[in-house]
Amino acid sequence: MISIKNLSKKYTSENKIVNALNHINFEIKKGEIFGIIGLSGAGKSTLIRCINRLEEPSEGNIFINGVDITKLNKKELRDLRKRIGMIFQHFNLLDSKTVFDNVAFPLQVSGFKKSEIKERVERLLSLVELSDKKDEYPSQLSGGQKQRVAIARALANNPDILLSDEATSSLDPKTTKSILSLIKKISNEFNLTVVLITHEMEVIKQICDRVAVIEDGEIIELDTVERIFSNPKTETTKSFVSSILNNSENEIVYPKIPNSKVIKLNFLGDTVKKPIISQMIKNFSIDVNILSGNINELQTTSVGNLLVQILGKDKDVNKALNWLKKEEIRWEVIWNG
């Protein structure tokens, strides 16, 4: 549905060239909730803003339903933008207009009849559960309510795509959760494709199907949320994942015992529930010291990590590690004594 090919963006400021995006390639499927995560300055905003050409790419192509949007003229671009709604961190509502009029605004611009506008706005406000606030002004609403109005407004023209630019970054965790569930509900109900950027792994965990990790204008990792959580490959992704698992193996202190190994075990799906450690101790002549552990409930499965120190003769430890493989537990040696 969205296909990004060789996309680059250069900014020139004070005679300096900034390569904000470098030859980006990836695809987003119809109806998917696709997250883009990265640290500040990684290129997230630039990337998402290229998708509706709020930023003009310097190089490359973006295809939406097979149409190269980098080639559209002004009129075609206006039509395209009706099919792409956008929500922002600071909501961008019109303070002088009521909730009803904020949502009605894009419909008035599109030339809908008054009666049609009324019917649509009421349906959208009911969808975001704000029917009772229609005559209030943005200043009378909480942050979460403001974002609901912004979502209703973004959906006014029945878009195929919703772009979310850090939409929950200024909300508290509980409100964030409710806004993310609303976006998920709407995406499921209308088969809406959602592209969201965030710097918070918690957002990715709660709502996304797939995630791309961006660093210095390049996609350094892209996969399903389950695979990124269970087996992050780059240091940046590992640190995003451990930011919510709350235990980076680099920060755990363990005794440097000779003839021991520190192993990170990775559990995915049903393996989370198996008594692996006790079976390992029973079956092999080894001792196991648990250093840290966690289980994370993702949308469709569970992912767990366990950091253990295994003590024993090399041949017994290796037998235990081979047995883990048969049990479909992935492991990685963190320290070898």
Ligand X SMILES: Nc1ncnc2c1ncn2[C@@H]1O[C@H](COP(=O)(O)OP(=O)(O)OP(=O)(O)O)[C@@H](O)[C@H]1O
Q: What is the DSSP string of 22-38?
A: EEEEEEE-TT-EEEEE-
Q: Provide, rounded to whole angstroms, the least separation between the CB of residue 214 and ligand X.
A: 7
Q: Which of 2, 33, 42, 150 binds ligand X (CB under 6 A)?
A: 42
Q: Provide, rounded to whole angstroms, the least separation between the CB of residue 19 and ligand X.
A: 8
Q: Provide, rounded to whole angstroms, the least separation between the CB of residue 219 and ligand X.
A: 12
Measuring CA to CA, which residue among 214, 211, 81, 102 is closest to residue 149? 102
The answer to whether 20 touches 9, Cβ cutoff 8 Å, is yes
Residue range at the interface with ligand X (CB under 6 A); choices 38-46, 151-159, 277-285, 316-324: 38-46
Residue type, 296: N
Binding of ligand X by 43 (CB under 6 A): yes
Q: Provide, rounded to whole angstroms, the least separation between the CB of residue 24 and ligand X.
A: 12
Residue type, 220: I
**Distance from C-alpha of 337 to C-alpha of 119, rounded to nearest angstrom:** 70
Strands, E assignment, 45-136: 59-64, 67-68, 84-88
Q: Which of 13, 73, 139, 336 binds ligand X (CB under 6 A)?
A: 13
Tokens of 202: 């918690």
Residue range at the interface with ligand X (CB under 6 A); choices 13-21, 175-183, 228-236, 243-251: 13-21
CA distances from 335 to 235, 257, 261 (A): 17, 10, 6
Report residue 312 CA to chain centroid gap.
Answer: 42
Q: Provide, rounded to whole angstroms, the least separation between the CB of residue 93 and ligand X.
A: 20
The answer to whether 145 touches 133, Cβ cutoff 8 Å, is yes
Binding of ligand X by 255 (CB under 6 A): no
Q: Which of 2, 4, 20, 171 binds ligand X (CB under 6 A)?
A: 20
Residue range at the interface with ligand X (CB under 6 A); choices 42-50, 107-115, 180-188, 220-228: 42-50
Residue 60, classed as helix, strand or coil, is: strand
Residue 110, classed as helix, strand or coil, is: coil
Binding of ligand X by 38 (CB under 6 A): yes
Q: Provide, rounded to whole angstroms, the least separation between the CB of residue 266 and ligand X.
A: 29
Binding of ligand X by 280 (CB under 6 A): no
Return the number of the residue (121 or 197) whose C-beta is nearest ligand X. 197
Total number of residues that touch ligand X (CB under 6 A):
13
Residue range at the interface with ligand X (CB under 6 A); choices 40-48, 175-183, 230-238, 327-335: 40-48
Residue range at the interface with ligand X (CB under 6 A); choices 39-47, 146-154, 266-274, 318-326: 39-47
Helix intervals (H) in 208-313: 225-230, 235-245, 276-283
Query: Would you call 308 exposed, middle or buried from its count of C-beta atoms within 10 A (0-12, 13-18, 19+)?
Result: buried
Binding of ligand X by 94 (CB under 6 A): no
User: 193 to 232, contacts with ligand X by CB under 6 A?
Assistant: 199
Return the number of the residue (38 or 106) whose C-beta is nearest ligand X. 38
Binding of ligand X by 307 (CB under 6 A): no
DSSP one-letter code for 113: -
DSSP one-letter code for 333: E
Footprint on this chain of ligand X (rule: CB under 6 A)? 11, 13, 18, 20, 38, 40-46, 199
